[in-house]
Amino acid sequence: MRLTLSLLISLFCLTGMSAQDYLASPEFNNFWRNLENIKMLEGEQPVEYKGSPYIYESEEAFITLENGQQIKPLILRYNVHDDVMEIKKDERYYTIPKQKEFPLFTLGEHSFGLKVYQLINKKQIGYFEALVVDSGCSLYLKHKVFLQAAEEPKPFQDAKPAEFKNRAPDLYLSINDGVLQVVSNKNDLIDMLPDHQQELSSFIKKNKIKFRKPESVKEVVEYYNSL
């Protein structure tokens, strides 16, 4: 009996916390146990539509809490259209509140942070995929999905259901872990990084950086952080 008990304790220590037991994290444990009180999301999208508002659904996902503790394994998906993270429990999905206690989500190879960003003249909070994370300059991707309205039938044309469609993502920069600012072109980037303008201009020209391509802009940010 002692041997069996010791083995069970050892296995628990090796495997860590499961999605059913968060005793080491009272905040998440309370959230998990009260999920049923949160509005259920499953089935609330329009019944007839094409496409999907979701990306990167993962059964091996985890959440990194504010204190750095990782909660896993979880089933998570990102609803780009509504800009919400959703968690699965007992075959149902629930929205995760945008709170500082849950700042980082990892879905497979994709890491998303809950960030403050500048949108026109207002500051907003939302989820951004991290491309470069550095104490100097960080680069993030803002995915976008919109819902195209349904169309009524016309002569010689059938009705069309509503359809979720992807838009090209926006790129955002964060300096010294500050508020994220959109960067659309070379001038935006140079203005945000004034301390190495000449070097950056030369690098962008030499390497033919395309600001429509996230991986291309990533090269510039990594170069800046190396200076």
Q: What percent of the chain has pLDDT over 90?
A: 64
pLDDT band at 22 (very low <50, low <70, confident <90, very high): low
Read off the DSSP letter of residue 203: H
Is 26 inside a domain boundary?
yes
Please tell me the predicted confidence (pLDDT) of residue 47: 58
Is the pLDDT reported for residue 4 higher than 70?
A: no
- Structural domain harbouring 85: 16-131+147-156
Average pLDDT rounded to a whole number, residues 106-113? 97
Checking if the pLDDT of 173 tops 60, the result is: yes
pLDDT score, position 11: 31
Q: Tell me the pLDDT of the chain averaged across its residues.
A: 85
pLDDT in tens, 41-93: 544 554 578 899 999 999 999 999 998 999 989 999 999 999 999 999 888 88
Residue 70: inside a domain, yes or no?
yes
Q: Specify if 170 maps to a domain.
A: no
At 132-164, the pLDDT tens digits run: 999 999 999 999 999 988 888 788 887 788 889
Domain count, the chain: 1
How many Å apart are CA 139 and CA 209, to the nearest integer?
15
Residue 66 belongs to some domain of the structure = yes
1 assigned to some structural domain: no
pLDDT at 8: 32
pLDDT at 12 > cutoff 50: no
What is the pTM assigned to this prediction? 0.81
Q: Is residue 89 part of a domain?
A: yes
Closest CA to 142 of 177, 108, 183: 183
What is the distance between the alpha carbons of residues 133 and 65, in angstroms, rounded to a whole number? 17
Tokens matching residue 23: 């005793």
Among 12-16, 18-22, 108-112, 131-135, name the one with the lowest average pLDDT: 12-16
The span from the CA of 73 to the CA of 28, in Å, is: 13
For 138, phi and psi rounded to 5 degrees? -120, 150
80 in a structural domain: yes
Residue 223 has φ and ψ, to the nearest 5°, of: -65, -45
Q: Has residue 74 been placed in a domain?
A: yes
Q: What is the pLDDT of residue 24?
A: 57
Q: Give strand pairing partners of 73.
A: none
